[in-house]
Structure 1
Amino acid sequence: MLLSTRFKAFVVTVATGAGLLATAAAIPAMAQGVGPGEIIPISNCDGRVEQFTLASDGAIWHRWQSTMGGSFSGWASLGGSLRYGIDVARNADCRLEVFSINSSNQMVHIWQSPATSTGWSGWGTIGGTLVGAPSAFNLNDDRLRVCAYGPDNVWHCAEQSAPSSGPWIGWF
């Protein structure tokens, strides 16, 4: 059984009477043009929300609440040269982990790392040959699983070998 601790919100774009476009959620200028305009919110273990999006520059941008229910920070880049969308999951130890497909069609990830000056790890490669957006899940045993379609139109997955840690095993 797969469990998910996140929900997804989609930005709706509508035409106004003046022929201009309006959005149902405020996306900063540098984040406009993201795939379908998807912003993925996820709660930290303390209840604060972080939001992530894949911007038109190919980087992941995020913002966060400094207090539960409080206002959001400005948008900050986590970098990357990415395509096909993103997904975010929370590890058993409460660290958030972001997944995407890079320009070489491999699954890559970045995770919260409080010991670093930025609070985030560098980009790591999980591998695979993938051509669709990732989908990350929490398994019943607290490990993460991430899946995406390959060029064979088959859903391929990899998962953590232990909760909150690698190496990642798969692709199956």
Structure 2
Amino acid sequence: MGALMAEDDIYIGPLFDLFNLRFGPEQRDVEFDAGGVSEIKALQEEFSIFQEGRPFVESAKLLGLGGLGNNRAKNRWYNVLTWLAKVPSDQDGETGDQRIVNALIKNFGRKSPLPCFMKAHDSRDSAGYGLKVVVREDTPIFYIDRTYLTISVPMAPKVPPAGKDKKKSKKK
């Protein structure tokens, strides 16, 4: 996410994958009692991981959604998730952070919650979602015909500091 993730931008995809696997459809193999969305539902019922007023980043930390392999990338990712409290959402009166937490609380309150999918969209695209968190029920994976609770967070590449291009042109 540009300035927040810096050279660790390469880890954004795997960090989304952690969420998408943990909150995805459960496996139906005999040897597994729980997994995916049904496991998260059980954890939510037992421990109230997602609570109104608790930042999403704190729940993400509890679930290990920052990964284990790179502490710098993990901490930067948590900074991105913290930043979502400053970003608007598609729901009037809710920040991006509140929108995610409230949508997850509502989803896991259902008898059969939807699997969840997190992705990014280009925050610079004013014709698209722009700079806001968007939560929808849709089919975000074209090769899986299943409805998900999709969470789309705004991201953009790192923007060069002001005046940097001017220095290059003067050197020419």
Smaller-chain TM-score bracket: under 0.3
Give the number of the structure whose alpha-carbon radius of gyration is greater. 2
Tell me the TM-score normalised to structure 1 length: 0.26
Tell me the TM-score normalised to structure 2 length: 0.26
Q: Looking at both structures, which has the greater relative contact order when contacts are Cα pairs under 8 Å and sequence separation is at least 6?
A: 2
Considering fraction of residues, name the structure with more helix: 2
Considering fraction of residues, name the structure with more strand: 1
